[in-house]
Structure 1
Amino acid sequence: MNPARRCSALLSQLCVSSRGGATTRRPFSPGPVSAAAGTRYCHSGVGVGGGGGVKGTSSQLKPTGASTASAAQVCPMGGSSSSRLFGTLAQSLNSAPLAQPDPYPEDNPDQDLAEIDPDQLLRECEEALQRRPARPHRDLVYPSGVVPCRHKHNPSIRIMQWNILAQALGEGKDGFIRCPLDALNWEERKYLILEEILTYSPDILCLQEVDHYFDTFQPIMASLGYHGTFLAKPWSPCLDVEQNNGPDGCALFYRRSRFSLQSTAHLRLSAMMLPTNQVAIVQTLNCQVTGQKLCVAVTHLKARSGWERLRSAQGADLLQSLRSITSANVSSRQNEAVSGTIPLVVCGDFNAEPSEDVYRRFSSSTLGLNSAYKLLSCDGQTEPAYTTWKIRPSGESCSTLDYIWYTHDALSVECLLDIPTEEQIGPDRLPSYHYPSDHLSLLCDISFREEPHRLM
């Protein structure tokens, strides 16, 4: 069976729940790639302060028999049919059923998988979601005001950052009082998540609150040509929810045709020398087009107000680890060893507004990091008004908590995905029938800056 038919057949097996009175879903596009109507421009500059980080500690998180056993005993949210599509997909793409989940899948090379046509899968997602309203359009914004020329020797790298909302938390603990329960149904919500990923087709995908990694994201992303790794929280709150799908954690995917893996670090973040419940994945990738290295990290810091000092300590610990990982001898084209650092991208839900100390630590780090989404502002110095907007029993919360940090001396941001307006989000806020998470996805295209010796 060819990949398109396989995709169609598997999707047709999934019973999609219906909602009366819904409008026909209209397909949407990620916006123009060239200067055309619907593209917004903003002239802005880039700036970052100096300073150093505070020393901390980090430890490599090892799997334990207890955690593996608990993951194997839990049941999928929504019953056995909720994972039918992706469970069947994984088993059809491999010669045998899924093995016991491996907390470190990058340690084992990906098996030869029959790749699925992403355009066909996207169309099938739209068919599955036809009873839901169309998602509002989001423009691609070019901070320089000019659509950059595409260089075949240095093409841009598309990076997506997204807290996708753990299914167990959305249905069981988070209390989104204005969000209808059927909008959170995993049998449809997973199509919304997948549709957004397919629409923007990132080269690197960084996710938080992933509690359907092994039965959903790993097999489907592998069939789309990505390599993935997952790291669960040691004590995930998802496990407190009846019929959970295992612990939530961070996931990092990269396109195998674009990158090869040089190294991976699994970090359990520490605060004041003590291990905490938050983790990070750090991978050093080799770009197969430019031959350059890129270090990518994904993390999810401690949530809730009152934990600002802990988040600051976690950030200091992560920065120390990143300094160690990115410090290396970087060879020039002439193979002359020069001292330098590997360009760095850090994605995550920091659970911290720009006024918090952990934000200041990153913006003033000796790693020379800048926040990509500041470039949406006309002065290049202001974060968006929100990346999450939700209504809980305690009240309405509109905050900027999610970031894509990058080494501004080595990397250039070419475009970003705009933030939806209040009108587009709607009065009931997030999540909703057309937004699957209480956080908005962030996306930017970056490229390596030309090194001085290459300009001569």
Structure 2
Amino acid sequence: MLDFWCPENYVNAEVAPVYPMGGAASRLYSTLTRSLSSPLPLPPSCPDPRRPADTNPDPDLCREQKTASPARPLDPAELLRQCEEALGDRAPRLHREFVRLGDGDGAPGSSVRVMQWNILAQALGEGLDSFVRCPPEAISWSRRKYLILEEILTYRPHILCLQEVDHYHDTFQPVLAGLGYGSHFCPKPWSPCLDVDGNNGPDGCALFYDRSRFELLDSVGLRLSAMRIPTNQVAVVTTLRCRTTGRCVRVAATHLKARAGWEWLRSAQGSDLLRQLQNVDPGSDAPLLICGDFNAVPTEEVYRRFAASPLGLDSACKKLGADGATEPEYTTWKIRPTGECRATLDYVWYSRDSLRVDGVLDVPTEEQIGPDRLPSFSYPSDHLSLVCDFSFEGTEE
């Protein structure tokens, strides 16, 4: 019988050598920028993540990136076309419907689009994750980078929360900066990517925001704790002001501990994140968006803690259910040596009294995903992206 229980089977890495952004990474970056036609500034070298987590890390990690956009901004439609062209004779994309909700009565163009996605760290996909039914060609970075960018460009989120990002400096930050996004990246203190030969540095959480829609007010990287003991999991918390409405919103991107048997740790990490969000600005009435791969099914304690939090949170993807109270059947579906894993682990939590859900991207069917599951030639990650449109409650348009 196939096992459908599957908080991710990652193991914390021991300290390993860091491979600087040179050699293969620089060649990759050059290839990417040539193929996308617009020259971009070379990214900084990846700092050593082994420095103590309680000291101030390299300023190019764990802080808002101030790098200017290229002199010639990238055109999203042209970039999407080039991604599709680079993929050539590819398998069809997963067709997904946007479910519009009756209570989404905001003015056209007023919604804020949020995307949550564990994109699958390249080092893990090629190394520790062991997707036994995924052809090696489908997991190659030369292909996946275009599929990931294609997914982002298709939905054009105003706020983008990513986990397992190990190509931040050489790919996502410069390319998305060219599209007008600001960003903040926080790596895991002991990333399992560092155990993989030829890795591109540590993976972590990254939060991007559309500068044309939002003004940055503040951004911090957090290391999550359990019973006051620092853990290997992190979060990025960014405060933004909407240029359209003048309203502020606090956005968190996080990735909780993986694997069965660690439910107590996920619960403690979730509680720590909720506590820190409450303490950031206790008097603030800014609504919250908390996006992440929680590695927890809806019956876990950490899910219940978020649902019952005094912060007044609800899960946006529950809107896909007929009763508005049921999560999707799955947000990840993969086959590993231990069996098949089909579960809901990813969530977009929002302040239910301050934000209104206008629409949610539905999940693809089993037939669309295919018998070999994810990742595949059609889709670059073992996790599905979650895309939700929100409006501020009580905003006069």
Same fold (TM over 0.5): yes
In 2, Cα distance between the equivalents of 1:214 and 1:73? 8
In 2, Cα distance between the equivalents of 1:195 and 1:326? 36
Q: Which one has a bigger Cα radius of gyration?
A: 1
Deviation at 1:76, TM superposition (A): 4.3
Equivalent position of 1:390 in the other structure: 334
In 1, Cα distance between the equivalents of 2:236 and 2:345? 19
Tell me, yes or no, if structure 1 residue 311 matches structure 2 residue 256.
Answer: no
Tell me, yes or no, if structure 1 residue 70 matches structure 2 residue 27.
Answer: no
Tell me, yes or no, if structure 1 residue 418 matches structure 2 residue 362.
Answer: yes
Deviation at 1:342, TM superposition (A): 1.2
Equivalent position of 1:227 in the other structure: 182
2:324 to 380, 401, 416: 380
In 2, Cα distance between the equivalents of 1:179 and 1:203? 32
In 2, Cα distance between the equivalents of 1:211 and 1:84? 17
Query: Partner of 1:106: helix, strand, or coil?
Result: coil
1:430 to 356, 361, 374: 374
Change in CA separation of 1:205 and 1:116 when aligned onto 2, cut-off 3 Å? same
TM-score (norm 2): 0.88
2:294 to 350, 356, 362: 350
Equivalent position of 1:328 in the other structure: 283
Change in CA separation of 1:323 and 1:149 when aligned onto 2, cut-off 3 Å? closer
How many pairs were matched up?
369
Change in CA separation of 1:262 and 1:149 when aligned onto 2, cut-off 3 Å? closer
Change in CA separation of 1:129 and 1:111 when aligned onto 2, cut-off 3 Å? closer
Unaligned runs of 5+ in 2: 1-14, 47-59
Which amino acid in 2 is paired with 1:121? L
TM alignment of 1:107-122, pairs within 5 A? 108=66, 110=68, 113-122=71-80
CA contact (8 A) 1:75 1:244 kept: no
In 1, Cα distance between the equivalents of 2:108 and 2:329? 33
Query: Partner of 1:445: helix, strand, or coil?
Result: strand
Tell me, yes or no, if structure 1 residue 203 matches structure 2 residue 194.
Answer: no
Tell me, yes or no, if structure 1 residue 268 matches structure 2 residue 223.
Answer: yes
Equivalent position of 1:83 in the other structure: 29
Residues 96-154 of structure 1, C-alpha deviations (whole Å, 9 max, x = no match): x433351045163535542111101111111111221111311100232x7645256xx
Change in CA separation of 1:294 and 1:158 when aligned onto 2, cut-off 3 Å? same
Change in CA separation of 1:180 and 1:103 when aligned onto 2, cut-off 3 Å? same
Residues 219-268 of structure 1, C-alpha deviations (whole Å, 9 max, x = no match): 10000010111110000000000001110000000001111111112100
TM-score (norm 1): 0.77
Equivalent position of 1:254 in the other structure: 209
Change in CA separation of 1:113 and 1:307 when aligned onto 2, cut-off 3 Å? farther
Equivalent position of 2:89 in the other structure: 131
In 2, Cα distance between the equivalents of 1:164 and 1:388? 11
Tell me, yes or no, if structure 1 residue 213 matches structure 2 residue 168.
Answer: yes
Aligned sequence identity (%): 58
In 2, Cα distance between the equivalents of 1:436 and 1:288? 33
Query: Partner of 1:316: helix, strand, or coil?
Result: helix
Change in CA separation of 1:151 and 1:127 when aligned onto 2, cut-off 3 Å? closer
CA contact (8 A) 2:93 2:378 kept: yes
In 2, Cα distance between the equivalents of 1:319 and 1:190? 33
Unaligned runs of 5+ in 1: 1-65, 330-340
Query: Partner of 1:173: helix, strand, or coil?
Result: coil
Which amino acid in 2 is paired with 1:192? L
Tell me, yes or no, if structure 1 residue 150 matches structure 2 residue 97.
Answer: no
Residues 75-108 of structure 1, C-alpha deviations (whole Å, 9 max, x = no match): 647xx643333456799334xx433351045163
Tell me, yes or no, if structure 1 residue 400 matches structure 2 residue 344.
Answer: yes
In 2, Cα distance between the equivalents of 1:105 and 1:115? 23
Which amino acid in 1 is paired with 2:86? A
Equivalent position of 1:45 in the other structure: none
CA contact (8 A) 1:229 1:252 kept: yes
Residues 282-326 of structure 1, C-alpha deviations (whole Å, 9 max, x = no match): 001011111110000000000000000000000000000111124
Tell me, yes or no, if structure 1 residue 98 matches structure 2 residue 53.
Answer: no
Query: Partner of 1:93: helix, strand, or coil?
Result: coil
In 2, Cα distance between the equivalents of 1:260 and 1:149? 21
